Structures are given as structure tokens and as C-alpha cells.
Amino acid sequence: MPQAEPLQTGEQPVQGEQPQDKKKRGKKPAVEQPASGEQPETGEQTKTGQQPATGEQQPVTGEQPANNNQPAAAGTAAQGETGNPNEAPILDSQKDRKRRGGQNGGAQNDNGQAGNAQGGNAQGGNGETGNQAGQQGGQQPPKPVVVDQGPPPTDDKSAQQAIKPEKIVPVDEEKGKRIERTPEEFARDRRRPRGADVLKKFGDRVIIQFNDQTFVESNEAPRITRGAKDVYYEDLSGGRTRETVERGNGVRVVTIRNRYGDVIQRSRVMPDGREYILSYVDERQYRDDDQDWRDPGDDLPPMRLTIPRRDYILDSEDVQSDDDYYTFLEQPPVEKVQRLYSIDEVKRSARVRDIARRIDLDTLNFDFGSATISDTEVQKLDGVANAIEKLLQKNPAETFLIEGHTDAVGTPDANLALSDRRAEAVAEALTNAFGIPAENLTTQGYGEEYLKVDTSAPNRENRRVAIRRITSLVAPVASNSEQQ
């Protein structure tokens, strides 16, 4: 069993930031150590010349509407609803607009209205068009088409009404050419889309940049292939590659990646031949090989969140019963899904991610600058692990995105790597301690980009992990229902 790693010099927790162990959920053994050699990053060390605060800032009084039972105003769900200046916007896409607006000379405010820009004055269209601030020189980007989404979907099938059914070829139908390659070699040799630049490496984490967006890239192979009976690769047409992971119980996890290594189809194939589609995207909609990668969220209008915050974000500190996790996770997206997205698109697009509700595991504590989960902290995952297991009993093809976050102390690139390790550590715990299949979990670190509390000081609430059920974004729900 792993032990909590000693803190490195200078990574002492901020005084007063003691773990808040509200509920003990002791049931299962602690998780094994994440992939070997994963030492805590130094990304959250206090910057030179700055001393940590003498005590943790008091938590914001809430990122909630004035009345927690009332829906957020159409097009808002934003900061300022409680009057707390440190309260961050609720939606990640709002935080993106705020950050990009600051870079481009103007910003859309949290009511969906564009602010005055240098060299231009862009109007926000009463909060519905949500166009970003005017560009320098007075030019305005095209306004997204406003789509009347209607009421939130009642289930995953109704969420996918706008998606045209198509015949999906079984993941193992196409004949491939076997190639001799290990999972490590496959990850190392992956190509990247045009327009992607490698900025830095932190161990096995790579920091890449697409246009004005920066992401951390990691290798999921150690999680997916651990304990496998066999792992092999095949070349397919169009530069695609198929990975097959054979387990001792006869189950195969088959993943098809495009020429850039992005997952475009993943299925679990049972010993009797039943195929559960965990993710699928029509690559013709995904990317033109001659174009740079672009955010698919740019094709969508700004999110119009019309439900109370507590129905959109569940804080684990507020959970009264473990059943609350299941009740929350089984709810459908908050708006209709216009098309199926690849897992990589969901990870990279704040606007697409916003479609799925979010659980903030704010009872899970990470030490300052650490991605290690102690035995005690692992037990706090018991309730959400039980909920995931129950959902998988109904639909074995569910997919969950685990997000890692840091506070704003330290360099952004190091924080990206650290947050990615935090997300991976939670995924490892869910698999090793609670038996959740690794292929049903995908991870991504976001560093300090999506702060929960808008402060540059050390803050426990910002050092967190979040979980979203993204099944209806990445897989055809009807196809898997027919397998039951």
C-alpha cells in the first residue's frame, strides 16, 4: 500500500490548510502507487520572494445564484451573484472567455455581453450571441448562431436527438496489419496535429500548444494495459492504428486512433462477441487533415444555464448520503448534444465540457505540490466509486472524465503536469481500490486555468479533482442500449 510521500523542501502546506475529513467511508484498501517514478511536481511551490499566506483564505460563500433553489439567469450563471470578488464564474467556457478577452484587448462579461475592446466596440446582443470582444483594429469575430435548445434533456437519448443515426462498423471488423510495437513506443512515437507545438516536458508529461490554448498530454497505456494478457497494435487504412488489450477473463478493449493518436473509437468486446461502444466519432466531422486543430466549442452558442448551480455542480462537501452521487451522475447533460465528439475534443474544449454536469471532490485533499493520495484520502472516494459501479451495471459503456486542478501558485506549465498527475492518481485509485475498469475512465489536467476561487494565493479549494459523466458526448447511447 502506498504511503503519503514526504513533502519536498519548500512545499509545506499553508498554515491552517488541514484536511477536512467530514465523512469517513472506510471500506476498501488503499490504492497502489501511481505509475512508478511519479514524484510530486514542484509546480505549486511559492514563487521566489513570496511567502505563503499565514492561513487559508475563507471559502467563498458560494458560487450560487442568490437563492440556491432558483435557476441562474439565462446566459449567466456567472460570478458576482453573491457579491464575493473572489468568486469565479461557474462555467469553464466563461473562464476561457475571460482569459482570452484579457489577451485580445477586450472581454465578454459574465452576462454574455462583450466589453469595449481596444480599437473596437463589440455588442453582446443581450447576452445571447456571446461573441468575444472586438479584436484589435475594430474587427469583430463572427457571431455564433443562436440555437434554441429548449428545456434540458430528460435522459441521454433525448440529449442525442439532434445526432443523425449512422451505421457503426464493429471495432475489429477491418483487417489490419500487425506491427511490432510496445505501448511505450506507441505513445512516444505519436504524431501531433498540424499547428501543435511542444513547449516543455515534465517527465512523462508533455506540454503542447494549439494556437492560444495550452494542454498537457500524457500516456494512458500504463492504466489501460496493466495486468493485460496481451497487447498488440495494427496499422489500418488512412494512417489509423488499432490497439487491442486482451485481459485474462477474455474481455478485449479495442481502441482505434487517428493518425495523430487521438481516440476516435473505443469498445469493450465481451467473450461472447457483444461490443459496448465507449467512444466513437465520425472522423470526417472531427478534423480536416489540411487544417489546424480548432475548438469544436466555437461552433456552439454560449452556454445558457437555466438550472440552479447545485443541480449543475455537486460539491462533495455538501453530500448528505452516498446515494447523492448516483442521483447526480445519472442525470443527462444540461443541453442537447449537436454531434458526437472525440474524447480528446471534450478534454480540450471548455464549451463542450460544460454540457456535462460536474462533481467537485472537494473533500479529497492533496498536499501542497503533491499528486499522492494517502490511504485515508482514498476512502473518501468510496461514495462516488459506488455510484460509478452502479451506473456501469446499467450501462457498461459509460465514460467518465476525471479532471485535475491546482491553485495559481507556481508556473502554469508545471501546474498543468501536476494537475494531470492528480487526475491520474484518482483514476488509479478508482481502478485499483474499487475495481472500476480503467477504460471507462479518462483523465486530463488543467492546472490553474479553471480556478474555483479566483485568487493567486495558495488555496485548498483550487487543488481539487472533478468528475463528469461524458457518455452522451462521446458515444451513441442507443447502440449500447441495444446490447442490454
> % helix / strand / coil in the chain, to the nearest 5?
25, 15, 60
Cα angle for residues 178, 181, 182 (degrees, 5° grid): 130
Half-sphere exposure of 254 (CA within 13 A, CB side): 23
Does any domain span residue 8?
Answer: no
Does any domain span residue 246?
Answer: yes
**Would you call 54 exposed, middle or buried from its count of C-beta atoms within 10 A (0-12, 13-18, 19+)?**
exposed
Domain that holds residue 362: 92-136+144-164+294-481
Query: Quick one: 221 and 304 in the same domain?
Result: no
Q: Considering 252, 277, 302, which residue would you say is the last residue of a domain?
A: 277
Query: Quick one: 254 and 303 in the same domain?
Result: no
Query: Quick one: 475 and 453 in the same domain?
Result: yes
Does any domain span residue 228?
Answer: yes
Query: Quick one: 263 and 397 in the same domain?
Result: no
Query: Quick one: 273 and 305 in the same domain?
Result: no
Query: Quick one: 433 and 373 in the same domain?
Result: yes
Does any domain span residue 223?
Answer: yes
Spatial distance between the Cα atoms of 7 and 369, rounded to a whole number of angstroms: 8
Number of residues that make up the chain: 484
Query: Quick one: 335 and 431 in the same domain?
Result: yes
Spatial distance between the Cα atoms of 156 and 299, rounded to a whole number of angstroms: 21
Does any domain span residue 121?
Answer: yes
Model pLDDT, residue 28? 41
Model pLDDT, residue 96? 87
Query: Quick one: 317 and 271 in the same domain?
Result: no
Model pLDDT, residue 304? 85
Spatial distance between the Cα atoms of 451 and 462, rounded to a whole number of angstroms: 6
pTM, full prediction: 0.76
Query: Quick one: 196 and 256 in the same domain?
Result: yes
Does any domain span residue 96?
Answer: yes
Mean pLDDT by 10 residues, the chain (484 residues): 36 38 40 37 43 37 38 40 64 86 43 34 32 38 53 90 85 92 73 80 89 87 92 92 94 92 93 95 64 82 89 94 95 93 94 96 84 91 97 96 94 95 96 96 96 90 94 86 55
Q: Is the dihedral of CA 33, 453, 149, 342 positive or negative?
A: negative
In degrees rounded to 5, what are phi and psi of residue 403? -105, 140
Does any domain span residue 230?
Answer: yes
Contact 204, 184 (CB under 8 A): no
Query: Quick one: 271 and 352 in the same domain?
Result: no
Half-sphere exposure of 484 (CA within 13 A, CB side): 11
> Hey, how many other C-beta atoms are within 10 angstroms of the C-beta on 88?
23
CATH assignment of the domain containing 461? 3.30.1330.60
138: left (phi over 0), alpha (psi -120 to 50) or beta: left
Query: Quick one: 101 and 155 in the same domain?
Result: yes
The candidate with the shortest Cα–Cα distance to 26, out of 425, 323, 326, 375, is 375
In degrees rounded to 5, what are phi and psi of residue 202? -125, 90
Does any domain span residue 255?
Answer: yes
Q: Considering 277, 305, 328, which residue would you say is the last residue of a domain?
A: 277
Number of domains in the chain: 2
Half-sphere exposure of 113 (CA within 13 A, CB side): 6
Query: Quick one: 339 and 422 in the same domain?
Result: yes
